[in-house]
Amino acid sequence: MAEMMEDLSVESSDHHLSSGCIILGMKVIGLNSLKNLLLTKRSGELEARLTKFLLTPEITKGKDVSLKVEIQNEERLQILIDLKDSLYVKEASEATSSQSVRFAYCAERRKWFWTPNDKNHIWMEVSHESVQSGSRKGEIPEEKYLKVIRFLRTEKPILERRNTDCNICA
């Protein structure tokens, strides 16, 4: 089984047969591994490979067993992969300050904020998709940053309080 998942950078941590189903625990190693796992699941390749390696006579012990692959939070994981892919540029040319955005989480307020990445930070809650004040009032970030803003607004991920001062409150 280890060889079967090696190219996906996934480790099998446990499997057992219970009530006609195989429960398989897997450890995903990194975002590329997660991306590959989601791609092979959607194409049906993951189910075919798992069926070949798991539904053997020694595992099923003569029982009629079928296999269905389910990844918890699959849609949310795909959104995270898409966000990562849209933001990552391997060899980006130097961008002007108006082309990038910084994000910060305020643990005290339990809210996400964003600002155009320039000298005079004007922090906006992610409920706003355009700069709200200052010389850049009304400017809208690039689509890739809007995707992140919308994700943070709808999903509201929470970060634990750290021992550093909040960029927003400082």
What are the extents of the domains in the chain?
Answer: 2-72, 97-155
pLDDT at residue 15, as a whole number: 56
Distance, in Å, from the CA atom of 57 to the CA atom of 81, rounded to the nearest integer, reads 37
Hey, what long-range contacts does 146-153 have (CB within 8 A, 24 or more apart)?
Answer: 147/82, 147/83, 147/86, 148/83, 148/87, 148/101, 148/103, 148/114, 149/101, 149/114, 150/126, 151/79, 151/83, 152/103, 152/112, 152/114, 152/126, 153/112, 153/126, 153/127
pLDDT in tens, the chain (170 residues): 545 555 655 555 555 555 656 666 677 777 788 888 889 989 999 888 888 887 888 877 887 877 778 887 888 888 878 877 766 544 444 444 446 888 888 888 888 899 887 777 789 999 999 999 888 889 999 888 898 899 899 888 877 666 666 777 76
pLDDT of residue 126: 94
